[in-house]
Amino acid sequence: MIRLDSVTKQHGRRVLFMDASCAVFKGDKVGLVGPNGSGKSTIFRLVVKEEAPDAGQVAIDRGTTIGYFSQDVGEMSGQSVVAATLDGAGPVSAVGVRLRQLEEQLADPAQADRMEALIEEFGEVQGRFEELGGYALDAKAREILAGLGFSQEVMDADVGTLSGGWKMRVALARILLMRPDAMLLDEPTNHLDLESILWLETFLKAFEGALIMTSHDREFMNRIVTKIVEIEAGELTSFTGDYEFYQRQRAMLDLQAESAFDRQQAMLAKEEAFIARFKARASHAAQVQSRVKKIDKIERVEPPRTREKLSFDFQKAPRSGDDVASLDGVKKAYGSRVIYSGLDLLIRRSERWCVMGINGAGKSTLLKLIAGATAADTGRVTVGGSVKMAYFAQHSMELLKPDDSVWDTLVGKFPHASIGSLRTLAGVFGFSGDDIEKPCRILSGGEKARLVLAQMLYDPPNFLVLDEPTNHLDIGTKEMLIEALADYEGTMLFVSHDRHFLKALSNRVLEVSVSGVRKYGGGYAEYVHETGQEAPGVHT
């Protein structure tokens, strides 16, 4: 269906692909993996002809329709969410637009003299719309939008009023509604909550075409992909299986490559030692020459590639008292909408609470109440006297000084820290080389999040309140963060849609819903086992 044949591609002086090949067939569900900047998004652009290879070719079977979801959604306004979604449905969307225009004209008294012609065209267009399945399409669009978290009210509202993250969901809905022969999805889960991610998993598992996707959500990849294409050092290598199988295979191949290199180095050292010892002796001249020729003919094993594993030894958090935070009879409402009424909660030292709930249930509000970012209407919120709290929220990134560089930000925060430790910290959070000189104003959302987390964890508090800390983090950085927080001796309260993060770090679950608050003694894995659901209302 889609083939890359001996493709070479260079951006400036950086070689992304060198004589790289791979093939994707109908029914394949492919996960693209590789370090940041390795060329994952470039492959998508090559397939949709937004870029051309410098050498080789990208071949696509005749008649294959391709739907491409990228992080650049473009401008959306002036139509309803449903209409914007229907625009992505191919030829039927244009027919639907004309049908709506004719409906408006038929209802316009000023068009009375054209009524006969309009009625005739309306009949033709309506027939064509029905033939293309247009009437069922509106229902399908609404079903997909509901799966991605839209209420019926929002579906009929102006798409221009949505935030960037919700516009991303509309762009994704367009591709899903289109049901092309091949879907290219670049980080489809970035702006989704857990409920929407679970719905999307079900949708993509049932999709019969070819799927190529990137994702920083390892659980999502494991549930969907049947093949991994790894991009490394300009090459494309295919592995049949899910992401975890790929990780095991990659580790095994690395070990074999290291062993082969070490064996050859040992053999070469032995031969070179013999040559050095006997080269001056005439009696050994023939043997020395024979071994020199043998060494010259040997095909050298490449030294194994070093795979950088992110790790950092964070300082230990100071010990807090046993009672870290408590809410007593707390009420919180926004206008007539009551979020909490009579809420009681005690958070004790070393507990790690993950907060579950659908959009709008009050997850972020709870974190804000405890962090002091919003006040309770009635009741009392108390934080222990020896508690040193750090609160990470999406607005935390807005507090970075736009003209300060990454390096300025870290040095300004920790003026007495050693340059070496700050450089290591920056590297662990993805800022290496010239990246540390980037001013904060040009950083992406993910880069800003990493910088804020780096500052927060270098001198760790004993109470971490984290609202979606894993948004935009790649798999490697998430793994580092999980390892760092696994050894963290403080207390945590957090919201995340990353199931791997939830499983690894929680030992308590707080489920918030319109019917109230429920507490679970075990972590997320125990919550799933006990309730039979991976998110409130979504059964496994």
Q: Which tens digit of pLDDT belongs to each residue from 1-11?
A: 899 999 999 98
Q: What are the pLDDT digits (tens) for 161-175?
A: 998 889 999 999 999
Task: Examine the pLDDT at 132 and tell me if it is beyond 90.
Answer: no
Give the integer Cα–Cα distance in Å for 482 and 490: 14
Give the integer Cα–Cα distance in Å for 390 and 404: 22
| Dihedral pair phi/psi, residue 117, rounded to 5° | -65, -40
Give the H or E element holding residue 188. Answer: none
pLDDT band at residue 340 using 50, 70 and 90 as cut-offs: very high
Nearest CA among 27, 29, 24, 26 for reference residue 46: 24
Give the integer Cα–Cα distance in Å for 112 and 106: 8
| Residue 22 CA neighbour count, 13 Å, CB half | 24
Mean pLDDT of 467-489: 87
* Chain position carrying tokens 């030294």: 303
At what angle are helices 134-147 and 115-131 packed, to 10 degrees? 60
CB 275 within 8 A of CB 292: yes
pLDDT band at residue 397 using 50, 70 and 90 as cut-offs: confident
CB 364 within 8 A of CB 351: no
Mean pLDDT estimate for the chain: 90
Mean pLDDT of 212-229: 95
The two tokens of residue 301 are 């094993």
Give the integer Cα–Cα distance in Å for 10 and 18: 9
Residue 438's pLDDT is 92
* Chain position carrying tokens 């996960």: 31
Provide the sign of the torsion angle of the four alpha carbons 58, 64, 65, 70, taken in this order: negative
Q: What are the pLDDT digits (tens) for 184-210?
A: 999 999 889 999 999 999 999 999 999
Strand, coil or helix: 39: coil
Strand partners, 345: 327
What contacts 101, CB < 8 A, 6 or more positions away?
none
Nearest CA among 448, 495, 451, 435 for reference residue 469: 495
Nearest CA among 472, 503, 497, 524 for reference residue 199: 497
Task: Report the range of poorest mean pLDDT among 58-62, 236-240, 388-392, 480-484.
Answer: 480-484
pLDDT band at residue 306 using 50, 70 and 90 as cut-offs: low
Nearest CA among 264, 257, 265 for reference residue 305: 257
Give the integer Cα–Cα distance in Å for 161 and 79: 10
User: CA 447: distance to chain centroid?
Assistant: 13
Q: What are the pLDDT digits (tens) for 241-291?
A: 999 999 999 989 989 989 999 999 999 999 889 888 888 887 788 888 888
